[in-house]
Every structure is written in C-alpha cells, then in structure tokens.
Amino acid sequence: MSRVLIAEDEPRIASFIEKGLRANGFTTAVAADGGAARAQAASGEFDLLVLDIGLPVMDGFEVLRRLRAERNPIPVIILTARDSVQDTVAGLEGGADDYMPKPFRFEELLARVRLRLATDRTAELTVLTCGDLSLDLRTRRARVSEATVDLSAREFALAETFLRHPGQVLAREQLLSHVWGYDFDPGSNVVDVYVRYLRRKIGAGRIETVRGMGYRLVEA
C-alpha cells in the first residue's frame, strides 16, 4: 500500500485530498506547514509528496529545494493556486515531478499520483470498460459498441468516475467531489443534469438511479 504525504495548510482541501486517496487504497498523512512537510518527507516513510506552494513557516519551493539538495528522490506533485508560467517552470526546474493548479478535479490528481507511483508504466490502465462501453483515457474518446460518442470534458469526467467504480452506488456528493472538485455547492442539482446528458449519449439503461442513495453504472 503506497503512502502519500499531503503538505497543505487549508484544512478543507487537505481533508478532500486525504479522503479521496484513502478511498482509493492509499495510506495518507497531512503536514500543515513547510517545516513539518520537509521533516516528514525526509523520514523515508512516504512514497510520494503532494506539496502546496503557499505553506506557512517554509514555502513549498523551499521544501522542494531542501529535499533535492539532500538528494531525496521522493516524487513530488506541486499543488498550488499559482498558475503562471514562471511558477510552473520554477517548480519543475526545482525538482518537482508534476504540477497541478488549483482548483482541480480529484480524478486528475489521482491519475497523476498513480502515474508517479507506477513501477511498470507499460502496465498502466489506459482504457476503462463496462460491457460494451469504453473510455480511452489517452485519446479522451468514448465508445459504445463500435460507435464513437462525443462527450464534453465534464461528461467524460463523470463517465470516467462511473467506470472506475462499476456496479458501485455513488452518492451525488461523491460525484460532485470527484468531478467538480473540492469547491462545489452540495445543494446543486448539476449531477442530475449531467447524468441525464450522459444517459442520452451512452444509453439510459446504463446508469441506474438508486432512490435516496445516488447512481450506479451497470452493463446494458
């Protein structure tokens, strides 16, 4: 089981990432400032570091600089509200393995975490299937039987979430969190709207409504 250190000082975002990673089988810990992040990352107890740049005590750039100066090889994914080209370049040249601007979708972060932890890149899952429905994560194409289906970016993200959990009931809150990110409105009906869109394109019978609980993807 891979161990991920989350260096994030905003409790809501840290909790969002931690819950999502744990639900997908990772062991996690949270460091709320740069000093703690550097010490924990240097301990050798973690396989990957999700590192926010705007940390108190010591910012993420300095944490990364010190880790690399100590020849610490831990994979680092920078997570930050700073999305300028200069900051991106600074992070990658400073030794980061990947860079994600906020706001972000959890499914994208999860994919990047899995990619950095993969020991065999050739074995990485790139096509998700359920019956004759398939999603190619590299080409971003959906197919039903032999027909290609055009999905918007949000529809694709929703379909990907269902296909990663076939047969499992997913609550609206889970879908909001995975597809729309941590900054969502829990009272929104956007999930129901996009489920309707998706049903029209992949077949109404593929996504079941489980009354009072949420939705479930089944083989048509």
CATH number at residue 150: 1.10.10.10
Alpha helices in 70-123 (DSSP H): 85-93, 106-117
* Per-residue confidence (pLDDT) for residue 103, from 0 to 100: 84
For the CA atoms of the chain, what is the radius of gyration? 19
Residues 39, 71, single domain; the answer is yes
Six-digit token string for 22: 């744990």
Q: How confident is the model at residue 57, as a pLDDT?
A: 95
Task: Give the pLDDT score at 178.
Answer: 80
Task: State whether 131 and 212 are in the same domain.
Answer: yes
**Both 93 and 16 in a single domain?**
yes
> What's the pLDDT score for residue 18?
95
Mode of pairing for the β-strands spanning 147-149 and 141-144: antiparallel
Cα(65)–Cα(219) distance, integer angstroms = 49
Q: List 210's β-bridge partners, or say none.
A: 214
Same domain (yes/no): 161, 204: yes
Same domain membership, residue 110 and residue 174: no
Residues 11 and 110 occupy one common structural domain: yes
Q: Are residues 21 and 111 in the same domain?
A: yes
SS3 146: coil
Q: Point out the domain boundary residue: 121, 136, 154.
A: 121
Tokens of 41: 């990352």
Q: How far is CA 59 from CA 33, 66, 76, 182, in A?
A: 8, 11, 14, 22
> Using an 8 Å Cβ cutoff, are 100 and 108 in contact?
yes
Other CB atoms within 10 Å distance of the CB of residue 1 = 6
CATH number where 41 lies: 3.40.50.2300
Q: Which of 121, 150, 176 is the last residue of a domain?
A: 121
Max intra-chain CA distance, the chain: 56
If asked whether residues 160 and 83 sit together in one domain, one would say no
- Whether residue 175 is found in the same domain as residue 209: yes
Q: Which residue(s) pair with 61 in the sheet?
A: none
Residues 77, 112 contacting (CB under 8 angstroms): yes
Reported pTM: 0.61
Sequence-ordered strand ranges (E) for the chain: 3-7, 27-31, 48-52, 76-80, 98-101, 127-130, 133-136, 141-144, 147-149, 207-210, 214-217
Domain containing residue 63: 3-121
Q: Is the dihedral of CA 47, 50, 54, 60 positive or negative?
A: positive
100 shares its domain with 159: no
Which pLDDT tens digits describe the chain residue by residue (220 residues)?
789 999 999 999 999 999 999 988 899 999 999 999 999 999 888 999 999 998 999 999 999 999 998 888 899 999 877 655 566 666 666 788 888 888 888 988 999 999 888 744 444 467 899 999 999 887 888 999 989 999 998 899 899 999 988 999 999 988 888 888 766 676 789 999 999 999 999 999 999 999 999 999 998 7
Q: Are residues 14 and 66 in the same domain?
A: yes
pLDDT of residue 86: 60
Question: 138 and 37 in one domain?
Answer: no
pLDDT of residue 122: 40
Structural domain ending residue among the three candidates 61, 93, 121: 121
Res 115: pLDDT? 86
Number of domains, the chain:
2
